[in-house]
Amino acid sequence: MEFVIVNEYEDIDKIPSNIRTAIGLNKFLVMEAYTQIETLWPVHRMPEKKED
């Protein structure tokens, strides 16, 4: 596993600590950061965000 994307930092706290430790905190990315990375260096096609 390269990384895990979560919606917000609080979502990391919802993951059991033994799983967080096994994965490693450095492998978690918050969606906002991932979106910015994909904007600067597009690798994957992300769906456009719909405005309400």
Indicate the domain borders of the chain: 4-40
What percent of the chain is modeled with pLDDT above 70?
90
User: Which candidate, 30, 38, 27, places its Cα nearest to that of 2?
Assistant: 27
pLDDT in tens, 21-40: 999 999 999 998 888 888 88
pLDDT at 7 over 70: yes
pLDDT band at residue 52 under the 50/70/90 scheme: low
pLDDT at 45 over 90: no
pLDDT at 48 over 90: no
Q: 9 near 34, Cβ under 8 Å?
A: no
